[in-house]
A and B are shown apart, each in its own frame.
Chain A
Amino acid sequence: MNIDNDNYRLQPPSLTYPHKNQLKKDELHACEDYYAIAWAEGTLTSQDRSDLQRSSRRQLIEQQAAIYQKLKIKPDSSLRYKAKNRLYRPDKQRLLLKYSLTAASCLLFMALGITLWYRTPSMSGQENQLILLPPIEIETMELPAIPQQTPVASSSAIPTMTSLPSAVPPKRIPVMTKKELPVGQIEATPLDIPRNIQINALSPGDAELILSENAIDWKPSKNRFRNLPLFSSVIQTGKIIAERLKTAVTNEDFYPSHLK
């Protein structure tokens, strides 16, 4: 009997290992301390865990993982974004109210500013301002007559008195308005006869001032205090009166004849 031994040869199986891919190492596994970092990151796969279980370096890897865990950066909670208010989006009603209030405030300030601007008196306009003088009232005042003087006994030291002029009937002195009255030329009224002298007096009022024509043409000085109309008028009026008195005193016609 002839037996062929080749017919009894074993045939190779066609089986394959199903977990071949798990054994492969990718780029990640090529990193040094992969297992320690993955352990710290919490990203160990099941295959990684089984590899670690079988590894003799498991304890060392665990220590390294603890170090990597502590090397994680913690956020700085003190750093805060301060401009959050610019990021919020308010609702439309609030926006409308906000813009309305802003517009109303602007209009109010504008109106206030315009009002104050027109109320403030301008210094340049004073030249053209009309100064209203109080009305003039004419009063009649009766003066008592001065009795005639008796002649004194003649003496060389005493001057001889001349006879006084005879009384003349009173006559009305024409009223002179402010413009007709010449400055510095006030005519004295005789004192020896009773007469009614018309006095031009200002009507009672708040302004007890004598304003001449010069006062109307007066211009404000640079002095801030004198710029006030009231004080400047008083000062100027005083000056005019002083000038008139000075001129009158130096004029011989100012004194009555018996005193010359």
Chain B
Amino acid sequence: MIAMTRKEYNQCVDDFADAVYRFILKSCHNPALADDIVQDSFLVLWEHVSEIAHAKAKAFLFTTAYRKLIDTFRHEKKNADIENIRPENYYTETSCTDLNEILEEVLNKLSPIQKTVVLLRDYEDYSYREIAEITGLSETQVKVYIFRARHWMKSFIRKPELIL
């Protein structure tokens, strides 16, 4: 296995820090928590820098960040079973003026696991297999979550053709 050099690690910081931060922030809506998780994720990456190849660093970072996010949620007892969370717990009423804002608002109504897979798919364009590796789900489960989330978002907007 080709280990990462310090220069490659610093390159990972430049390339992936923003993406990991956006993903975690959109998932938890807590900038301080997102900052902590990003810091911890890169710390873990540095600790295992001799074991991880540069090409695998992105997946490792997202996997680590996602697991830390889940651990935080479970520790705070927000989600006893993360797959069965009630979406209305994350509902926030805001006035949206454009499509992106509407989609963000609808995204917040998804369950955490659905929200996670949708963010990984749309933000980072990960394949189903990569998302399955990050989240620990099977590839079929990832597909089902994404399909159900897409259908739910369309039905929630009711008449998306009026917005698009």
Contact = CB atoms under 8 A, between A and B. Distances in A.
Interface string A61-76: 0000001101111111
Contacts of A70: 99, 160, 164
Contacts of B86: none
A87 B147 contact: no
A71 B152 CA distance: 11
A98 to B, nearest CB: 16
Contact of A80 (B21, B103, B140): B21
B118 A41 contact: no
**Interface residues of B toward A: which range?**
35 or more
Interface string B117-158: 011001100001000000000001001101110110110010
Interface in A13-58: 26-28, 31-34, 37-38, 40-41, 43
Which label, helix, strand, loop or mixed, suits the secondary structure of the A interface?
Answer: loop
Interface stretch (B10-18, B51-59, B66-74, B76-84): B10-18
Consensus secondary structure, chain B interface = helix
Contacts of B140: 26-28
A43 B103 contact: no
Contacts of A68: 150, 154
Contact of A84 (B14, B103, B104, B160): B14
A43 B128 contact: yes
A91 B6 contact: yes
B42 A87 contact: yes
B113 interface: no
B9 interface: yes
Nearest to A33: B151
Contacts of A84: 13-14, 17
A76 B14 contact: no
A10 B147 CA distance: 49
Contacts, number: 90
Interface in A89-137: 89, 91
A40 B25 CA distance: 26
B88 interface: no
A38 B144 CA distance: 11
B151 A88 contact: no
A67 B119 contact: no
B38 A88 contact: no
Interface residues of A, number: 31
Contacts of B153: 71
Contacts of A71: 103, 150, 153-154, 157, 160, 164
Contact of B107 (A27, A73, A87): A73
B160 A31 contact: no
A88 B13 contact: yes
Nearest to A74: B100
Contacts of B18: 79-81
Interface of B: 6, 9-10, 13-14, 17-22, 25, 35, 38-39, 42, 46, 99-100, 103-104, 107, 118-119, 122-123, 128, 140, 143-144, 146-148, 150-151, 153-154, 157, 160-161, 164
